[in-house]
């Protein structure tokens, strides 16, 4: 036996009907028996456009090349530093695992790494250790494009807020998570934020 369809060219008519068109199109399922050859078991096509199903690779955002003069490293005050041997601290510094201190300056203290491509449907995962030294709201991560705010993530001892722009450009939407009693001054806390499909968000916060 020979599969005569194995090398047959594949085409669609009309060509636009397979991706992003709201109207539904259908096709006949492959028959499961000889008796079904004369009938059509209808199924609907998936109208969504192709997208990347894997997440974007890990990207360190606090690289030395993108730090300003108000940012400095601290080899001694890092999460778990009190349990580390001197050799382990040296190795952590060599591999870029030391903590980074943002000194308070007029206009803020910023790190501006290259813009990162977001993963499937605008999803992202941010994992960070933070140790606030002063009260109030601070910006953890912000992304802008063509003069328009894409999203900004702020955190304080009261709440973490994710504000993001609409594709229509009509103002900002926001989602917030309470951090009262879970984020303290002068104490290391591990924060993880996951945003999936630009609609669902999750946050975990631990000391």
Strand partners, 71: 102
One domain for residues 131 and 202: yes
One domain for residues 38 and 93: no
Q: What's 154's domain CATH number?
A: 2.60.120.200
- Condensed to tens digits (0 to 9), the pLDDT of residues 23-74 reads 677 888 888 888 888 888 888 877 666 555 566 677 888 888 888 889 988 8
Q: Residues with Cβ < 8 Å from 123, sequence gap 6 or more?
A: 55, 194, 195, 196, 197, 198
Report in angstroms the alpha-carbon separations of 107 from 66, 70, 103, 134. 17, 11, 11, 16
pTM of the shown model: 0.62
One domain for residues 99 and 172: no
One domain for residues 147 and 207: yes
Parent domain of 176: 115-207
| Burial of 57 (C-beta count, 10 Å sphere; 0-12/13-18/19+) | exposed
- Condensed to tens digits (0 to 9), the pLDDT of residues 169-207 reads 677 888 888 888 888 888 888 888 887 765 556 656 655
In a domain, 155, yes or no: yes
Strand partners, 164: 151, 173
One domain for residues 120 and 207: yes
One domain for residues 206 and 148: yes
């Amino acid at each position: 036996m020979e599969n005569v369809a194995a090398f047959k060219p594949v085409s669609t008519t009309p060509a636009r009907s397979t991706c992003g068109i709201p109207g539904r199109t259908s096709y006949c399922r492959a028959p499961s028996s000889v008796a079904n050859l004369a009938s059509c078991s209808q199924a609907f096509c998936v109208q969504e456009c192709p997208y990347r199903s894997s997440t974007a690779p890990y990207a360190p955002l606090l690289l030395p090349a993108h730090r300003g003069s108000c940012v400095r490293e601290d080899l001694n005050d890092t999460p778990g530093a009190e349990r580390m041997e001197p050799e382990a601290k040296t190795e952590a510094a060599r591999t870029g695992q030391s903590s980074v201190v943002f000194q308070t300056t007029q206009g803020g203290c910023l790190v501006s790494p290259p813009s990162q491509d977001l993963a499937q449907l605008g999803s992202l995962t941010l994992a960070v250790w933070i140790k606030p030294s002063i009260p109030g709201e601070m910006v953890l991560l912000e992304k802008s494009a063509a003069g328009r705010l894409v999203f900004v993530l702020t955190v304080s001892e009261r709440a973490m807020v994710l504000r993001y722009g609409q594709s229509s450009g009509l103002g900002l939407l926001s989602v917030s998570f309470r951090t009262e009693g879970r984020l303290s001054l002068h104490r290391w806390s591990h924060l993880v934020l996951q945003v999936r499909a630009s609609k669902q968000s999750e946050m975990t916060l631990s000391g």
